[in-house]
Chain A
Amino acid sequence: MLYFSKLRILFITLFSVLFILIASSNLFKFDDNFFDKKINLGLDLQGGSYLLLEIDNEPVIEQKLQNLTTTIRNYFKEKNIKINNIKIENQNIFFNVIENDKQSVLDVFQDENSDLNPYYPRFKSHQLEIEDTGLNFKVNFSRQGLIKLKTSSQDQAIEIVRRRVDEVGTNEPNILKRGNNRILVELPGLDDPMRIKSLLGKTANLTFRFVTNDENDRFGVEKLKFENGLEEATVSKRIIISGENLLDAQPKMDTQANQTIVSFTLDRVGAKRFGKATSTGIGKQLAIVLDGKIISAPVVRDTIASGSGQISGGFTFQTATDLALLLRSGALPAPLEIIEERTVGPDLGQDSINAGMIALAIGFMLVIIFMFVKYKIFGLITNVTLIVNLFILLGVLTLFEATLTLPGIAGIILTVGMAVDANVLIFERIKEELKDETNNILAFDGGYTKSRTAILDANITTLLAAIILFFMGSGPVKGFAVTLGVGIFTTLFSVYFIARLFTSIYVSRNKNKEKLI
């Protein structure tokens, strides 16, 4: 156990120096082309905002089922099968057909090549499930169908969220999927997430629809409130143009009326429809509806064929900018709800870093003094090892660009406290060996060999706890698991290579010394 070959010594030295260099790259700036890795600071240390959004898929499902009823009706019409009493209840479509048609309806739904009911061979499942309840058919989304629907609305939503966050222009946002109906948004450096929160909270579903007094409008009507929440208007359900038809939207100052407006440009289809509607609807009120609320309902005075127009509605410059941003980035497929928010101001983050560093320095000093007083020369060896260990730990974290959090710093301090354990186990064992062994070298050898199982077991148990924490914990706690877990490996390395190297050098020079430890 005490012999080290020259090659091995070289390897240990190089390895330690390499990691010390890597670790110090966090303090001194190296050439970026040469090495540009850094430990990331968690949101709790650099300040920033963590938002967990949940997609409310209910309206999407409702909408899809609504569309399906039409599709089903038309599909079977072509096949000369009449669908009766079709209705939606609790996310199920119910309908019935005459007895003779029953089998052909079932066949269509259960056909693997059906274009009405797509089949997913990978999951051996259709999009829709059909059940003959005797009285009527019950159609609903299968488990896979629902998952497909959720993931596709998540894909769309994350795209829109990204666009909106990018437009606001925060630095290095982190936008990730969580499960199949959640989106995680991390915004470093942002201490007031108010604006982003209100932007993400809006679906931004824009429609242009005529105000009508005709209750028997062919498309149906609905009563909608104005933004101010006071007035109401009856609006046709017929959509002239929607947000999808927008090419661009920008806030502008209308110098004539001296108010802020949002001007927009329409795509070809939108321009055509808008032109037609404004030519036939002169004198009527055109309601501009955003997320079920009327922004304004101007009277159409002229045919607008240019494909551009403007929205006014008593905006401030800020609200006009935000509305333009929302319109540019597109509508969310479903409403988002912020179900978890954690925001840390940058000065608290800096305070936490300072406190963590002071605690680390003091903890480190206390342990070092304790070890030196207790073990003298071997304490010194342990302390040097401890310092190298700390650097290697920081080096590994840098290499993997791990995220350091406040609990993560606590994990490092704890590692310092527990890292001495392995050395203490060895030294205590050597002391025992020296009681009946006069040969120093043999005693040291025995000390290392006999303490090995205890050290291994002890570290594996801590590692198990760290692994569970890593997989079950979230955010800052995960940072703790990382430093604790990595700390175990670096500790074992420094105890078995660095400390042992020093010990071996010292012991072979003092072979015959009595009371060595």
Chain B
Amino acid sequence: MGVGIQVENVNAWYGKSQALHDINLKVEANHATALIGPSGCGKSTFIRCLNRMHETTPEARVEGKVKIGELDAYDGTSPTQLRRRIGMVFQKPNPFPTMSIYDNVAAGLKLNGYRDKKHLDEIVERSLKSSALWEEVKDSVHKKSGASLSGGQQQRLCIARALAVEPEVLLMDEPCSALDPISTGKIEELIFELKAQYTIVIVTHNMQQAARVAEYTGFFLLGRLIEYDKTEKIFTNPSDKRTEDYITGRFG
């Protein structure tokens, strides 16, 4: 089951330049939350703060409090522990090129020392089914490398890989930006189904996509969270002038 996320006074820097200013936000468990805003506004930086990926960038720094369910991300939790409970899907599909489809999906478990072959088989099949890839690859999971799939399939493989470790939260950083409309449609359907089991935070440049998949939407601008509300409210009756300007296409 998914858990909620609570973010308090988060600030983030790259070297000396501040990328996020005082972000406060509460993500509902088992819902999809979309983050929109123009390029460079801090959406990606923000979700990378949620699983402590931000600090892997040289000279990057975070301050503030992030709670994933009951877990305090920055106090008493190691990044590894935290990331085992938070799946992440990246902008560009990044399957492990040296591994078969099967091993890509099983990677999170195998690399953490899990060895029960029969259980792994079940998990791989289930994960590929939940990411709607199983039917297309079931005959070649051991034979084909993850890199030999098409872009859309690779992205669904990466989703399966993230789901295999049974996370509570799934972070998606523009998961469809490198995909064609058909693959995008498949992944959006997927997000819809996955909400039942996971809390989803998705960064997107595509406002229709945000409106289609997410119950809540946050609008970022210049490193600040300008407005955060029910998606319907953001797109029909935003309270901030800047949100309205952005969603009506006046800038960005």
Tell me if chain B binds chain A. Answer: no
B-binding residues in A (CB < 8 A):
none
A-binding residues in B (CB < 8 A):
none
